[in-house]
Structure 1
């Protein structure tokens, strides 16, 4: 009889141990359900990351406390064995003690049966609840990726705002700037094709745009059948009145009442490609030759040389014509290769442009007929050496100019020329220091703008070259100082004598840029510009500009 009671006692203890394990399993099932619920709420955006992390930390702490309490409530195997031996008693114990032990064992058995049933029922309910949570999570994930749901990416300063609607991404970015600019002429005589205002003889003030007008950039992109593609629009309004002219929105402005600001639609292009194939571009965008020169020019964010401050256009000159030839925004069909170990190439055909008599006075030839497109190409190489980050680039252009018109061209002489140009540049960054060096050479290229005064009135090509060097230093995390010098040279064609034609435009620029916030930059700048002719004529001016720009 004692042996039977001992067996029943051990069976009851085993049931109790099993009940505890089922209870713990049920608790973990509820814990998994709670975790799934938190994941769903986080996924749907009902919880912030900090709220989610806080609730999970608190939940984990409670789980550990409950597990510890459960372990203390359930006797260890050694303790259960000792209690079983005590419950069985020895032959010296009284009959009353044996009956009491037997009674307690029977009660424990009955309680264990009930606890086992409850635990099994709780386990079934927990399993059903976990299945429901999994279904809810799957539904939430499907809803998250539904085309009817519009999501917004985390904002990165300078990268714009990106919306995701199903497979389509829509990005908006842009900038707005304005400067007070004071120009003081340094005297001299006019230079044909010069960019200094020294000969004007009087000071001028303006509230104007810098080298950049304002801009609103829109990009719509998606991936279809493995191809990445995008449609891009760049709208660039100015703040000054527009006056239609040879350069349209970028002509000299109209400083009269009841005027209207101009809108320069520079970018309208599409891209499509794959990482292993490369990217194709069709439409209007920044050209390749000279593109990196302007994009790395610090005056792109400020003013530089003003060109004309009395009736300001949508843009100033920056270093255009005083260090590089403006790349311009040109209709094109181009191809950019995949990047291989930092090396990448681009080539394309572009809308051909006329030779233009920018200097005036009939000093240059012109044309309006082209049987072949312009061709441009570029190679870039990005690399690191320790803490030094660098890029080297080189680009070229070739265009045949035909049916040239010029006062000095013999009717029986050749009326076609092939203009060509090439450049090379580098940008090196080391900690707070940043340096840029650039050089270009052209034959029939001209100066300031593409094919401006590139061919003389006698139909012969003029050589041109130029360069700029620039150094920037961040003396504080938000404060950067920049200094640069550059010049553009235009040489006379063989057999040409044009003493009034510009020989050199050059400038020195010093500027300070302070990033008040991620969006807002405050700027102050001084620029000294000089224009020299092939004869004795020359002039110079000084420009001080202060302003602000917002980039988002």
Structure 2
């Protein structure tokens, strides 16, 4: 190999100074660049012609750089010229340009030595690569997985994947009341009597979700922590960080730590979940609601809470984030089922809490409960399939909870309203069904729910009257979306939530002079435009009209215009 390189180097140096009365010494040694060419040639990465060409250029440049410093005997000029001419002739005969093709100048033995040396170098390189791979897998290095928009950042630390994802949003919202009388339990702010401006969150607060995954003994194991802060000042009350806000100086935003859970299982056995997460009943309703990325009904715009209402209470009952032990089956041909036991929730008099006369009429509308001897049970089934170019997502879910220890108070706020012979417990039952259909740029969603004792807006809000009797409720929403372009989407939706009176409740309500009456119906219409500027940023513009009506005839309505940006990573 050494003699081969010497011959090549001497030949090219002589040719490079042909016609000059001096030449470089004929003895020259290969450098690291020439060694690299040897390895690439032995591996087959370079053809013989490519190898010769690159080596010639390198040696020629080295010769030019050395010319001013070299002493060249005059008698060597003619020999160099003849060598260069001989190489040029051979190059012309072989089809290569003159001065590029080289005489092999080495025997088979030298070529074998070259190949053996290259193989030794390649083997050492492979060992080094294997050792580096082992070091990466040992957990001594942290790697970053390929980024996928909307899926967050994933860091791989040995056997553990650490994912950080989240979203931030902000909207300017202008609410204009259309008038009316207050409705106890209504979601419209139409009776407030004044316009309001706010810089606030939409239906989503901000969110930062940390998820850790690993595989142990054939099981996929994960732990999740979700932190959801709002923009506006918090004023904790019955709903904690989600209570109405407090736009007063020196206030601080609320942090809703609604999500903390673990899962374990695999694709064959299914997955178990233990902790606090979104419940099963009505979860698909909110996840497919377009106002999840905008504002919808504001609730209160003058003093914004952590979130707006979106379509909560105007098309579905909020699924909520509830402590649970649940199980999700493996997917079988597009079908998947889930079932679990959940922390039981209290029956709650939301209408009483929002009634302007509540201070003098405690438990005027609904009974409450604080006793639970059995858990809430929820289940859900989904089925995904396609027909030609049309994709279908169909779901159904149910909820059951036994309400115990029901109680209510008379107008003095002290005397029990429920007597010993009246209902002190109630079995709450609810179910829903919905579908999402996608065909090219078109999307459609249709959803319906019905419950007995379920209530409206929130789980078990005003689901049982003051005498312990269950009220029926139902609601629905329909939604259509069209992608004008890949980034620009228009959405329109309409939704209703109805709360019916319990048997024998009419007379009692009508006799309550001065009361605006219990909410009978909440409804809204929403139109929105979404433009995805980048993988992270979506600009949103929206208009919504919300109205509430009571059993006693009172009505109120409002109009809201919102504009803002949603960032998701």
Is the 1:32–1:130 contact (alpha carbons within 8 Å) kept by the matching residues of 2? no
1:131 matched to 2:148: no
The verdict on how the C-alpha distance between 1:113 and 1:296 changes in structure 2, with shifts beyond 3 A counting, is: closer
Q: Provide the residue aligned with 2:69 in structure 1.
A: none
Residues 196-345 of structure 1 aligned to structure 2 (within 5 Å)? 196-345=188-337
Residue 55 (structure 1) aligns with:
none
Between 120-129 and 277-286, the greater mean CA deviation after superposition: 120-129
Query: Residue 441 in 1 paired to residue 433 in 2?
Result: no
Q: Answer yes or no: is 1:535 the counterpart of 2:552.
A: yes
SS in 2 for 1:359: helix
- SS of 1:202 mapped into structure 2: coil
Q: 1:67 to 1:346 in 2, by over 3 A?
A: farther
Equivalent in the alignment of 1:394 = 396
Most deviating of 384-393 and 372-381: 384-393
**Equivalent pair of 1:29/1:127 in contact (CA under 8 Å):** no
Q: How many Å separate the matches in 2 of 1:488 and 1:323?
A: 5
Task: Give the C-alpha shift of residue 177 in structure 1.
Answer: 0.6
- 1:492 Cα deviation from its structure 2 partner: 0.2
* Partner of residue 505 from structure 2, selected from 496, 513, 518: 496
In the TM superposition, what is the alpha-carbon distance from 1:550 to its structure 2 partner?
Answer: 0.7
What is the alpha-carbon distance in structure 1 between the residues aligned to residue 559 and residue 126 of structure 2? 71
Work out whether 1:375 is the aligned partner of 2:377.
Answer: yes
Please give the secondary structure, in 1, of the residue aligned with 2:350: coil
Deviations 1:366-385 (A, max 9, x none): 01010000000000001111
Indicate the SS of the match to 2:107.
helix
Task: Give the TM-score taking structure 1 as reference length.
Answer: 0.81
Match of 2:484 in 1: 475
In the alignment, the residues of structure 2 paired with residue 418 and residue 210 of structure 1 have an alpha-carbon distance, to the nearest angstrom, of 34
Deviation per residue, 1:93-149 (Å, 9 max, x gap) = xxxxxxxxxxxxxxxxxxx99723323322332332232122122223223323111
Which string of whole-angstrom CA distances, capped at 9 and with x for unpartnered residues, describes residues 380-436 of structure 1?
001111111110000000000011102442212331110010000001111111110
Contact 1:193 1:501 in 2 (8 A): yes
Q: Per the alignment, do residues 33 and 193 of structure 1 end up closer, same or farther by CA in structure 2, a change over 3 Å counting?
A: farther
Structure 1 distance, partners of 2:168, 2:423, is 48
- 1-side partners of 2:232 and 2:524: how far apart? 25
Indicate the residue corresponding to 2:21 in structure 1: none
Separation of aligned partners in 2, 1:386 and 1:456:
49
Q: How far did residue 33 of structure 1 move?
A: 6.6
Residue among 440, 443, 458 paired with 1:431: 440
Contact 2:297 2:309 in 1 (8 A): yes
CA contact (8 A) 1:33 1:133 kept: no
* Shift, 1:214, TM fit: 0.5
Q: Where does 1:31-50 land on structure 2 (aligned, <5 Å)?
A: 31=40
Q: Could you say what the CA RMSD is over the residues aligned between the two structures, in angstroms? A: 2.2
Say whether the 8 Å CA contact 2:479–2:491 is kept in structure 1.
yes
Match of 2:473 in 1: 464
Tell me, in whole angstroms, the C-alpha distance in 1 between the residues paired with 2:408 and 2:503. Answer: 15
- Preserved CA contact (<8 Å) 2:341 2:375: yes
* Contact kept in structure 2, 1:29 and 1:130, CA below 8 Å: no
The whole-number CA distance in structure 1 between the counterparts of 2:239 and 2:469 is 25
Q: Structure 2 vs 1, CA of residues 63 and 261 (structure 1 numbering), >3 Å: closer, same or farther?
A: farther
Where 1:476 maps in the other structure, the secondary structure is coil
- Distance, in Å, in 1 between the alignment partners of 2:48 and 2:429 is 75
- Counterpart of 1:152? 144
Residue 514 of structure 2 aligns with which residue?
Answer: none
Matching residue within 523, 539, 545 for 2:540: 523
Distance 2:48 2:39 in 1: 10
What residue ranges of structure 2 are gaps of 5+ in the alignment? Answer: 1-34, 54-103, 353-357, 410-416, 511-516
- SS state at 2:319 partner: coil
Q: Distance in 2 between matches of 1:537 and 1:335?
A: 45
Q: CA deviation at 1:491?
A: 0.2
Q: Distance in 2 between matches of 1:346 and 1:28?
A: 62
CA pair 189-122 structure 1, distance change in 2 beyond 3 A: same
The answer to whether the 8 A contact 1:33-1:129 is kept is no
Deviations 1:136-183 (A, max 9, x none): 222232233231111111111110000001100000111111111111
CA distance in 1: counterparts of 2:176 and 2:106, whole angstroms: 99
* Contact 2:37–2:51 under 8 Å retained in 1: no
C-alpha offsets along residues 2-30 of structure 1, whole Å, 9 cap, x if unaligned? xxxxxxxxxxxxxxxxxxxxxxxx99983
Shift of 1:327: 0.2
Paired residues of 1:178 and 1:549 also in contact (CA < 8 A) = yes
Measure the CA separation in 2 of the matches of 1:63 and 1:388: 57
User: 1:134/1:397 Cα in 2 relative to 1: closer, same or farther (>3 Å)?
Assistant: same
Distance 1:413 1:326 in 2: 30
Partner Cα distance (2:265, 2:41) in 1: 44
User: Which one of 483, 495, 512 corresponds to residue 529 of structure 2?
Assistant: 512
Unaligned stretches of 5+ in structure 1?
1-25, 36-58, 69-111
Equivalent pairs, count: 462
